[in-house]
């Protein structure tokens, strides 16, 4: 978590739903399915809290749109690779110090009843 003089700061985007064609099976690649993405961004929000200026923070609306478009525009066999790609997109934002990404696949083609299959990973900025 980002720690500055004033403590930890985080922006969260939860439950982002986007349609994509990720999966090992040919049927997943052809028909596609919905993915659910959560991201936690460690960001120093000290300046934004004081200024009330969007330029002093991460525009989560723009980032959410970018992540949804990335899910739709790319194709990976593994949701691990998709999560890594989305983490790199988040870290492209200069203010993001660390990111945690969770990608869930609610309609995973498995032979048992389950709510979802998900992966979660964390990455830090290399600045």
pLDDT tens track for 86-114 = 999 999 999 999 999 999 999 898 899 99
pLDDT tens track for 36-74 = 999 999 999 999 999 999 999 999 999 999 999 999 999
The DSSP annotation for 70-85 comes to HHHH---S-HHHHHHH
The reply to whether the predicted model has a pTM over 0.95 is no
State percent of the chain over pLDDT 90. 89
The pLDDT of residue 105 is 96
| Distances from the Cα of 46 to the Cα of 1, 56, 83, 127, angstroms | 14, 9, 28, 20
And the tokens for 56?
Answer: 């002093």
Catalytic residue numbers read 105
User: 6's torsion region: left (phi>0), alpha (psi -120 to 50) or beta?
Assistant: alpha
CB 20 within 8 A of CB 74: yes
DSSP state of 5: T
Sign of torsion, CA 86 91 94 98? positive
Locate the DSSP E strands across the chain.
Answer: 2-4, 7-20, 33-43, 96-105, 117-124
Band of residue 8 on the pLDDT scale cut at 50, 70, 90: confident
Q: 2-124 maps to which CATH number?
A: 3.30.1130.10
């Amino acid at each position: 978590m980002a720690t500055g003089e004033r403590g930890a700061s985080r922006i969260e985007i939860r439950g982002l739903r986007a349609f994509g064609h990720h999966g090992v099976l040919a049927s997943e690649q052809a028909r596609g399915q919905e993915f659910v993405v959560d991201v936690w961004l460690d960001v120093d929000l000290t300046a934004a809290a004081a200024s009330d200026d969007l330029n002093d923070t991460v525009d989560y609306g723009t980032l959410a749109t970018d992540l949804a478009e990335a899910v739709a525009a790319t194709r990976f066999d593994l949701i691990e690779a998709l999560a890594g790609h989305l983490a790199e997109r988040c870290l492209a934002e200069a203010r993001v110090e660390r990111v945690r990404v969770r990608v869930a696949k609610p309609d995973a083609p498995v032979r048992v009843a389950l709510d979802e299959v998900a992966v979660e990973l964390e990455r830090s900025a290399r600045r």
